[in-house]
Structure 1
Amino acid sequence: MASDPKSPDPKSPDSRPAGRLLGRGTWREAKYVAEALRTETVGGAILLGAAVAAIVWANSPWRDAYAALRDFTIGPASLQLDLTLGTWAADGLLAVFFLVAGIELKREFVAGDLADRRKAALPIAAAACGVALPALLFVVTALVANRGGDAGELSGILRGWAIPTATDIAFALAVLAVIGTHLPSALRSFLLTLAVVDDLIAITIIAVFYTESVNFVALAAAVVPLVAWRLLLKRKILNPVLLAIPAVVAWGLVHASGIHATVAGVLLGLLVPVNREVEDDPDRHSLAERMEHEIRPFSAGFAVPVFAFFAAGVTVIGGGLAATFADPAALGVMVGLVVGKTLGVFGGTWSVARFTRAELDEDLAWTDVFGLSVLAGVGFTVSLLIGELAFGTGSARDEHVKLAVLVGSLVAALLAAVVLRRRNRHYQEVEQRETADLDQDGIPDIYEAP
């Protein structure tokens, strides 16, 4: 009797039951994750260096020079683009970061895990819970800490509810590279996919909740360069100068509309064509893959670190740390990142297992998921951006929130290190056995059906 083609071969790692959570993916996916991990890890190291340099300078005798550089204004006033360097970094360079995020999101929804509703349920649920619970804990913490305070001040504090909702993928992967280099690719892939969905939710929050007013004429006009960008890519006109023209115009019009200009980056990324057939072919490289490969190093190695340099310069000396721990908004951020992210991501993952009757892959343990959930509390780039939007760049509360993001992220990273390092040696031994067993095609046998 012929076998049912829909029934997976239980001996094949690539054909494990759909009820397995965080199962091993394909060899192509493993290579993609490894490449992304290398790029983001290097970017995370540069990002950390930029943040440390900013903090040191901002607390040195030359702190006024740092502030003067950050607040130096440049750009054409006639186009309302006479912005400070700090704003150029937040609105301009971060648009490149969100362009990469948009491309990743498009690839995931068309040809990745998010294209399969069963596989997509896990990262979407984990990301959604990892956004909702930190926001809720921020509000609860702020209410408790501000108990008996002024209602008007409380209203201002609550504007920062979204700050602890974002995971910084560069920092998280940099930490993962140090404490868990041998964790299974399924966990790393889960972290990457989780961050992609997290970025989508974050940019939606920015567009909806942190937009004061909208110029619909400018927003409608932005459709023209976006269409031009799409047509150029469809016709395979890939000259960087030609592509830059509609991209910059679209960014400028979105900025003029009152919506945060980084939204333009996501829209441009989502318009990049993705061919599932090409994406699934290990011997071919799609346009989206090539663009992501070319832009990601600039994003991770320059755009995000420059933003970090201008955003992370907080004053710690002279009572800055004490004032931070006395600020209800800062307390809410730290609780949201460390506790909210952990319980949200882990709870979302456990809920999928509980209510869909799916089981965690036999190669993993729930301890791994918990460690990864703690690591999701490493927030930085988007958290700092939302903090600036919520409280105003350079304001006292913005300074407190920035420091809270740094402290919360550091605590999350240290706790994740404690949890994940216990499992790292086990996976190192497993990986050595798998990579030592190669066929002539160079692909580990574990990724191939017998």
Structure 2
Amino acid sequence: MKAVILIGGPQKGTRFRPLSLEIPKPLFPVGGQPMIEHHIEACIQVPEMREIILIGYFNNCEPLRRFLQLAKKKYNVPIRYLQEYESLGTGGGLYHFRDHILSGSAPDCFFVMNCDVCCDFPLKEMLKFRQEKASNATITILGTEANRKQALNYGCIVEDTDTHEVLHYVEKPETFVSNVINTGVYIFSPKVFDCMREVFEANYALSLEETCKRDSIRLEQDVLMKLSGSRTGQVFVYKTNCFWSQIKTASSTIYANRLYLGKFQRDCPDLLESSSEPNILGDVRIHETAEVDPTAKLGPNVYIGAGVKVGAGARVKESIVLDGAVLDEHCCILHSIIGWNSKVGQWARVEGSPCDPNPNDPLAQIASDSVFNEDGRLNPAITILGKDVTVSNEMIILNSIVLPHKELSYSYKNQIIL
């Protein structure tokens, strides 16, 4: 077995800023470890996993190189990064590096995962489903359910409920098609490259006026939509009830942090602080080098990074506090991300608005709203302090995004502070 993780690259968009100004998005810590490390941990649980390949277009990225060195030693499995010469779409990188994926003892099938998803990753169950019910499939999709309204934001799958063959696939339809959605986790057969080759050749048959990126292949539109509905048993879906969420925006990391901390509580509770301590509420993970005053109250769903100092009487809830930050006495941090080496003064309050799915709808997914609403105003969301931000004593920062290296001596509400 092999696994391929699609990590993308630098974007012009702002949905993950200011966090992505300091670190590549795949390395942002969620649940106390880099986002991509959750994928790697799931992959190494699969029997006979021989290699993990990362495909993206981060150029000369020293943090990524260091992470790979540490991950290879920690997990004792070959992990390598293949860099695209430009953004080739969700499928273009796979096709461009097909010889690397199939090198050595060519795998009968291989996993493909998008990096920007938070998931319980039932990979062994997914592989068992393929072996028992879809052994000749070109693609097996991990699917989950969303409500009717939110399904329109995802790739929608219509399946044969008896065989689980995909009869129809539409990426972000305009009208309701199905509440079964694509999670961005797949098992591919090497036969998928035959379909990709047809797309590649069709792109080159077009004139330059009709396509400016001939090497780009869209996995969802060019491959999945083409193979689905052929009734030839090429695409199947394995539905899961495990937790799943996208991590498209900086705000969504707080919800993903909660999901992963909950997973640790079930699978490896030693990573978390003991809930028997009076000032620990729910799932809390604290780096071993952090200094937390015993009178500070933390939780639920909090990660405290390396070298963080939390003062007496501080309150932290539903938040991520990144390495080197200082939280002074009696400050309050709610639904927020405190950036690297930032400082929150005494009695200051940093608070955001939760972006949780509707708790009364079991099929609800986290909303992926844009940063601004139709009036051009900032949508209420979590508060984010970039790197090296100082909040003065007794100030209130509410529903705001603060870029790095700022000193806030006034209170702010619903603002982007440049």
Q: After TM superposition, is the score higher than 0.5?
A: no
Normalising by the residue count of structure 1, what TM-score does the alignment of the two structures yield?
A: 0.23
Between Structure 1 and Structure 2, which shows a larger proportion of helix residues? 1
Between Structure 1 and Structure 2, which shows a larger proportion of strand residues? 2
Normalising by the residue count of structure 2, what TM-score does the alignment of the two structures yield?
A: 0.24
